[in-house]
Amino acid sequence: MDLDWPGCRNARDVGGLPTADGRTIRSGVLIRSDSLQYLTDEGVDAVRRSPVARILDLRGDREVELAPTPFTGTPLAVRQRLQDPADPEHGRPTIVEACTWMLDQRPELFAAAVKAIADEPDGAVVVHCHGGKDRTGMVVALALSVAGVPEEEIVADYFLTQQRLAPWLEEQLAAEPDPTKHPEMLEFRDTRAESIVAILRHLDTKYGGSEAYLRLGGLTDADLERLRERLVE
């Protein structure tokens, strides 16, 4: 469900997604969004009026320094970067390779992000990075997978971002006068369903699935069960 948070282009509640056993994801529990730095004053008021209890900012230190959100540094916001500053620059040529590299490098950081969703006792957790596309998409996909949402539903939710961000991508392409840079921009800024499919296949083939990957990162059976109880009606 799209949320009316003026300034954000890609804020939506994943509640209502079905699980494989016939239940659904609760509404008002898990929200995915582009960076809250883009909120207007009306958007900030909308977030404050909502049942949001935790804002999980996945961006790196430099990103936050350059573009803090209205909630950065407040008790509502939690920083959970997905890369360590000591990690080398990935320099991968495709978005799938960049994302799987991140997953392989730091399972403990992805596990910590998912645990932050499970550990919030009340209200909604907002997960955001910059565009709410890849880093947010991976964390949300991991959480939904543990909750029992079928892959096709996870992929469809991820793909909704393409529609939400298409006008923004068109603006970025129009603002770049060098057309030789457009293919790289499209590679890393478009949102294609096959990208999350390839990422999920990587988790399956290398780790045995999302749950096994998160256990490798430090989550316990109790953590995973608490996540399911939190997300599933």
Q: Which residue segment(s) compose the domain that 100 sits in?
A: 12-231
How many structural domains does the chain have? Answer: 1
- CA 123, distance to chain mean position in Å, is 18
4 assigned to some structural domain? no
1 assigned to some structural domain? no
At 172 the pLDDT is 80
123 assigned to some structural domain? yes
195 assigned to some structural domain? yes
Q: What is the pLDDT along the chain (233 residues), one digit of tens a residue?
A: 899 999 999 999 999 999 999 999 999 999 999 999 999 999 999 999 999 999 999 999 999 999 999 999 999 999 999 988 877 766 778 999 999 999 999 999 999 999 999 999 889 999 999 999 999 999 999 999 999 999 999 999 999 998 888 888 788 878 888 888 888 877 777 889 999 999 999 999 999 999 999 999 999 999 999 999 999 99
Strands 124-128 and 52-57: parallel
7 assigned to some structural domain? no
Q: pTM here?
A: 0.93
At 90 the pLDDT is 62
203 assigned to some structural domain? yes
- With contact defined as beta carbons under 8 Å apart, do 217 and 168 qualify? no
138 assigned to some structural domain? yes
CA distances from 139 to 41, 65, 69, 142, 150 (A): 28, 22, 20, 5, 16
- CATH number of the CATH domain containing 222: 3.90.190.10
- Residue 32: name the closest of 134, 172, 181 by CA: 134
222 assigned to some structural domain? yes
At 173 the pLDDT is 79
- Residue 192: name the closest of 165, 159, 163 by CA: 159
